[in-house]
Amino acid sequence: LYYIVALIFIANIFSAFFNPAILTLPLEIEKGLRVQLLTARLTTVTSMTTVVGPILGLLIFNKVGVTGLFFISFISYLVSGFFAYELTRKTKGHLLKHDSDVHTKSVPIVTTLSRNYLIAVMLTLFLCMNLLLSPIQVLMPSMAKNIFNNSLNSLVYMEVIFGLGVVLGGIILSIYSIKKKELYWVWVLLVLFSSSYVLFNTQHSIVNLLFFLFLMGSSLGLVNVLIINIFQERPLKEDVPNIMSITNLISTASVPFSLTILAILQKYTGVEKLGLYSSIGLFLIVLLTYFPFKKWGSGVFK
C-alpha cells in the first residue's frame, strides 16, 4: 500500500510541473500567430492521449495484466525523461531574446493578478467551469444506467464523441489561427459550450446526447487554445509562469473538490438535477462575463 501511495503521489506531484512548463514554452520559442498554432498543436496532442490512452490501456491489460502495465509505465517515464532532457538541450539556442531580467525575476502571484484584472476574471471563469462541469463525469455513467438500460456501449460512445470533439477543436486551431478579437471568440464559444451543456442535460435520445456532447467537446477544444493563448500573450512575460501554474492548479485541484461536493449534494437530489442546475449556472456566469471582458479586453475583445 505504501509503495502504491508513493507512486501515485510522486507521479502526480511531478506531472504538475510539466503543464506550466509546456504551456510557457511556445512563448519562449515562437512569436506572433505561431504561438497560437504551436499551443493548439500541443493541446491537441494532449487531448488525443485522453482518447487513445484508455483504449490502449484496456487492450494492453488484456495481454499483459497489471504487472505488465506497471512495467510499461516505468518504461514510459524513462522515455519521457529522455525527451524532456533533449527538449531542454535543443531549445537553449532557439529561445527568443527577452529583457535580461525576465527569466530571473520572480513575481508574487498576488502581484500578477492585481495588475491583470482580465486574467483574474478569466481564471475565475476557468475555476467555475471546472467546478460546474464535474457532474458530467457522474452524469454520463448515470445516463448509461438509467436511460439506456445499463448500456456500456452508450457510455463509450459518449466519452469517445466528447473526446473527438475536443481533438477536432484543437486540430482546427492547429491549422488556422484566429488573428483578431480572440477574447470575443472565447466568449462566443463559451456561450455555445454552456448552452450545449444545458441542452445535453435535457435529452433522452442517444443521438441528441451525442450531438450536444460533440458540440461541447469541439467548442471546448477551441476555447482551451484561445484562453491559453491569451494567458501567454496578454500579461507581462514574467507573469506567464504564475498564470500557467494557477491554471494547472485549478485543473487538478478543483476536480476532487467538486466531486466531493457533488457526492454530498447527491444525498438531497438526483445527479440529473444537479447536472441541469450546474449547466444553467455556468450559462448565466458566461453571459455575465461579457461585461468585464468588454471593459478590460481592449485589443482582444472589441
In 3-state terms the chain splits into helix, strand, coil percentages (rounded to 5) of 85, 0, 15
Length of the chain measured in residues: 302
Q: State the amino acid at position 232 in one-letter form.
A: Q
Which amino acid, residue 108?
P
Predicted confidence pLDDT, tens digits, the chain (302 residues):
677 777 777 776 666 667 667 767 776 666 666 777 777 777 777 777 766 776 777 677 777 777 777 888 888 878 888 887 787 777 666 555 544 444 445 677 788 888 888 899 999 999 999 888 877 777 777 776 766 665 556 777 788 888 889 888 888 888 887 877 889 999 999 999 999 999 998 887 888 888 999 999 999 989 988 888 888 777 777 788 788 888 888 877 777 788 788 878 877 877 788 888 999 999 999 999 999 998 888 766 66
* CA 35/CA 173 separation, integer angstroms: 11
Class of domain 2-296: mainly alpha
Q: What are the cell numbers at 1?
A: 500500500
CB atoms within 10 A of CB 164: 18
Phi-psi region of 65 (alpha: psi -120 to 50; beta: other; left: phi over 0): left
User: Degrees (nearest 5) of the Cα angle 201, 203, 207?
Assistant: 125
Domain boundaries, the chain: 2-296
The pTM of the whole model exceeds 0.85: no
